[in-house]
């Protein structure tokens, strides 16, 4: 049986960056609620239209909207997953538990607030394969083009400094209580996210024992 893992951490903490290599190493699907909501917004679905205002303002999308899409997605998985960006509130964690989704580990990538804004405002990512870059610290080989798949790199519209500060506030208020929630269940493992991408990956590999 493959592992069922939750990746947790502040916005810009490196969840998406680590997920690209982790999903291959663990041979499990990467399920990112941020990606799912952005895809819904791009497709112009009802959910996407409702989510847009929250995402653009740096606020969390209401639990009932997110719980529905995750439950539907997880119903298709029976052999491990890497959940990125969910759960993000105690109500979402309760919904996941109530759905009978047993979790093997919750990996918290811990990064101090002062690093977050510069990491996010410099980020560009590939909508095709999910690879993440930073214009200054981790640039692609060719400006604007993904090294891995040749796709055109984009900047997210919620990656403005004022919105990032809102996202960070939402993280502290609504998501950090999950540290206690999963700590009490003996599932939480914390890695130091203020290290190189390879070093963070190595820490995760060790705590997940693969």
Among 5, 28, 60, 69, binds ligand AP5 (CB under 6 A): 60
CA-only gyration radius of the chain, Å: 16
Q: Could you confirm whether 206 is annotated as catalytic?
A: no
Active site residue 167: yes
Taking CB under 6 A as the rule, does residue 17 contact ligand AP5? Answer: yes
User: Phi and psi at residue 140, in whole multiples of 5°?
Assistant: -70, 165
* Chain position whose Cβ is nearest to ligand AP5: 34
Q: Are 4 and 101 in contact (CB under 8 A)?
A: yes
Q: Which of residues 95-134 bind ligand AP5 (CB under 6 A)?
A: 119-120, 122-123, 132-134
Residue 165 is among the residues annotated as catalytic for this protein = no
Count the residues of the shown chain that bind ligand AP5, applying the rule CB under 6 A: 37
With binding defined as CB under 6 A, does residue 67 bind ligand AP5? Answer: no
Q: Catalytic residue among 38, 41, 88, 119, which?
A: 88
Does residue 37 touch ligand AP5 according to CB under 6 A? yes
* The binder of ligand AP5 chosen from 71, 138, 187, 208 (CB under 6 A): 138
Is 135 among the residues known to form the active site? no
Which whole-number Å values give the CA distances from 196 to 56, 97, 149, 179, 209, in the listed order? 29, 33, 23, 23, 20
Let me know the angle formed at the C-alpha of 134 by 66 and 113, rounded to the nearest 5 degrees: 65
Is 41 designated active site? no
Q: Which residues of 92-114 are buried (b: 16+ CB within 10 A; e: fewer)?
A: bbebbeeeebebebbbbbebeee
Tell which one of 49, 128, 137, 150 touches ligand AP5 (CB under 6 A).
137
Contact positions vs ligand AP5 (CB under 6 A): 9, 11-17, 33-34, 37, 54-55, 58-61, 66, 85-86, 88, 92, 119-120, 122-123, 132-134, 137-138, 158, 167, 195-197, 200
**Catalytic positions, please?**
15, 88, 123, 156, 167
């Amino acid at each position: 049986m493959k592992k069922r893992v939750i990746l947790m951490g502040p916005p810009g903490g490196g969840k998406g960056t680590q997920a690209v290599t982790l999903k291959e190493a663990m041979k499990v699907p990467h399920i990112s609620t941020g990606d799912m909501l952005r895809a819904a917004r791009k497709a112009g679905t009802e959910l996407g239209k409702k989510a847009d205002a929250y995402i653009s303002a740096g606020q969390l999308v209401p639990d009932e909207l997110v719980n529905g899409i995750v439950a539907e997605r997880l119903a298709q998985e029976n052999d491990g997953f890497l959940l990125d960006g969910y759960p993000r509130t105690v109500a979402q964690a309760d919904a996941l538990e109530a759905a009978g989704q047993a979790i093997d580990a919750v990996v918290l990538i811990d990064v101090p607030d002062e690093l977050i804004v510069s990491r996010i405002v410099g980020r560009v990512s590939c909508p095709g394969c999910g690879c993440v870059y930073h214009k200054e610290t981790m640039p692609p080989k060719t400006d604007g083009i993904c090294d891995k798949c040749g796709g055109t790199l984009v900047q997210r519209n919620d990656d403005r400094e004022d919105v990032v500060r809102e996202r960070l506030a939402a993280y502290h208020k609504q998501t950090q209580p999950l540290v206690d929630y999963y700590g009490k269940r003996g599932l939480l493992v914390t890695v130091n996210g203020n290290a190189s991408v390879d070093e963070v990956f190595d820490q995760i590999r060790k705590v997940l024992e693969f």
